[in-house]
Structure 1
Amino acid sequence: MSRLENATTPPSDADIRTWCHVCGAPDEAPDLIAAARTADSMYVEWRRLQRTGLRRLQESYVELYERTQVFRTYCANVVPGVLQTHAYATGLMRSIAQFHETPDDVADAVEARLRRSENVVRKGAHRFALVLEESVLRHRVGSAEDMAGQLGYLLSAMALPSVSLGIIPFTAERRMWMIETFTVYDEGQAEVELLTARVNVTAPTEVRQYLNAFTEFSRLAVYGADARARITAAIDALG
């Protein structure tokens, strides 16, 4: 006990289960075990992840992407990385590099992102359920030409059998408020993107909350012809 109390030794899974049992709260054990296993990676500042540039960060996701079967992503600000075009990704990453003052390896980072996306979107048995706020279609990244190309790519991506793309209209009667961008990988891990950090969520009850939020966002979204109409309207608005 003294080693645990003085942080000399981290608690084992068995220690946590025993402690929860003694405290009369055995149902809390799974969340506490998940938190203990991911304490070092639960909240990581972008400046730490990006200290050598953006390319290595993109490459660090490869293993996770390859083993994930179902991706559930909600975005209220930008197009999800798996569906970004070269020009859009370049404009976005250049903004990120400038804001966070990271080493300029944008060109290599973009290539790494596109290569990673190509491998999972068009190859293997991966499925993507993506829900975007309509504002994402109007938030311009790069030039008008770059944005038109990105929106056009969304239209073509909707035809892919692995992709389900929904748009939440401006006029939707909200049952779920807009929140931060997040992705749930299968049903065991959620990742949340904040301005200053990446939050990795593995506690089962918290992951379920993100799954529930995604379900609510999915119910607000329109699909098929209605979604294409909103994307087309955004393209027309570029002039």
Structure 2
Amino acid sequence: MSTDFQSGREALGARLRELRAESGLNGRDFAARLGWQPSKVSRLQNGKQTPSVADLEAWAAVSGRPDAAADLLARWRGLESQQRHWRGQLAAGHAPVQDRYVVEYRRTQVMRGYETTVIPGLFQTPDYARHLLAGNAELMRSKRDTDAAVQARMRRQEVLYEPGRVFRVLIWEAALHVHVGSRDVMVAQLDRLVGLIGMSTVELGIVPLGAAMSVTPKHGFWIFDENRVVVETVNTELQYDSADDLALYGRVWNELSAAAVSGPKAHRLIARARAAVQRLEQPG
């Protein structure tokens, strides 16, 4: 059994335990109300057994919290996908992961995203992407299939030109100053960002350095069609689809959006970063 699956099952069990405790019933009495053996209640609470949909609905009802059934079901559906460790995903290289993203993005109509230290993959030039993917392959000790991965990442960007989609993306200004590759690579990447301003499918905002911010998120995140949040850490891709998590990340995005600038003001920030890059000396 995968560590990801077991971690998710234990988290679900902990939530079941909370609901049972809130009911005021001990495990034996709770099992009796359900018509189950006490051992089943124990196994579910301790993440030793995977519940069925009927089990979760019955648990919520006996807990006196039928409204909790939807959250339990969302957690149950996410058991396999809530955490996907990069070491497993990258076993066959970066290209298969990028191909999966192509499919996921084509299923998405409205996306809200925020990045702190890197230009988002949707907006990357091939050379910028190549440096990032090659560096990540070295870091993760994974298969080097950089050219195929870059091609797949570029295919993902085709969604930007499909009518009816909206990509509302925020980038912290610091990401514009993180040097990836050579000076020419960075200049071309920043020019690419400028070219996105005004596109009908793209709403690009830059959160300026020094902006007054009511929240300070520690990581980037992406909200897919308001029904799933994806967060990437160094070693794991996390996915959340509960109502509470969606509402929380939605509020964070809204606060960041309020601090961001767009249009000509965003253009000026990108131009400032471009001028700083051009002042760098090329390596000899």
TM-score range, shorter chain: over 0.9
Q: Return the letter of the residue paired with 2:247.
A: R
- Please give the root-mean-square deviation of Cα atoms over the aligned residues, in Å: 1.5
Question: Distance between the aligned counterparts of 1:70 and 1:6, measured in 2?
Answer: 40
Question: Distance between the aligned counterparts of 2:64 and 2:181, measured in 1?
Answer: 56
Q: Does 2:243 match 1:204?
A: yes
Give, in angstroms, the shift of residue 211 of structure 1. 1.1
Question: Distance between the aligned counterparts of 1:108 and 1:58, measured in 2?
Answer: 9
1:91 aligned residue: 131
How many residue pairs get aligned? The number is 238
- Using the TM superposition, name which of 130-139 and 24-33 deviates more: 24-33
Q: Return the letter of the residue paired with 2:260.
A: A
1:34 aligned residue: 74
Gaps of 5+ in 2: 1-35, 280-284
Give, in angstroms, the shift of residue 179 of structure 1. 2.1
Give, in angstroms, the shift of residue 126 of structure 1. 1.3
Give, in angstroms, the shift of residue 61 of structure 1. 1.9
2:173 aligned residue: 134
Question: Distance between the aligned counterparts of 1:85 and 1:12, measured in 2?
Answer: 46
Measured against aligned partners, the alpha-carbon deviations of 1:74-112 in whole angstroms (never above 9, x if no partner) come to 000101111110011001111111100110001100000
Relative contact order higher in (CA < 8 Å, ≥ 6 apart):
1
Q: Return the letter of the residue paired with 1:48.
A: G
Question: Distance between the aligned counterparts of 1:172 and 1:105, measured in 2?
Answer: 39
1:116 aligned residue: 156
Question: Distance between the aligned counterparts of 1:83 and 1:104, measured in 2?
Answer: 22
- Using the TM superposition, name which of 58-67 and 73-82 deviates more: 58-67
Whether the 8 Å CA contact 2:122–2:157 is kept in 1: the answer is yes
1:144 aligned residue: 183
2:22 aligned residue: none
Question: Distance between the aligned counterparts of 1:33 and 1:138, measured in 2?
Answer: 43
Q: Which residues in structure 2 correspond to 1:185-224 (within 5 Å)?
A: 185-224=224-263
Q: Does 2:206 match 1:167?
A: yes
Question: Distance between the aligned counterparts of 1:3 and 1:68, measured in 2?
Answer: 39
Larger Rg: 2
Question: Distance between the aligned counterparts of 1:29 and 1:106, measured in 2?
Answer: 44
1:72 aligned residue: 112
- Of residues 5, 12, 15, the one that matches 2:55 is 15
Give, in angstroms, the shift of residue 25 of structure 1. 2.1
- Using the TM superposition, name which of 213-222 and 59-68 deviates more: 59-68
1:81 aligned residue: 121
Identity %: 33
2:64 aligned residue: 24
Question: Distance between the aligned counterparts of 2:121 and 2:256, measured in 1?
Answer: 19
Q: Which runs of 4+ in 1 moved over 6 A?
A: none
Give, in angstroms, the shift of residue 215 of structure 1. 0.7
Whether the 8 Å CA contact 2:102–2:153 is kept in 1: the answer is no
Whether the 8 Å CA contact 2:102–2:155 is kept in 1: the answer is no
Measured against aligned partners, the alpha-carbon deviations of 1:170-203 in whole angstroms (never above 9, x if no partner) come to 1101211032111000111010011110001111
Q: Return the letter of the residue paired with 1:79.
A: I
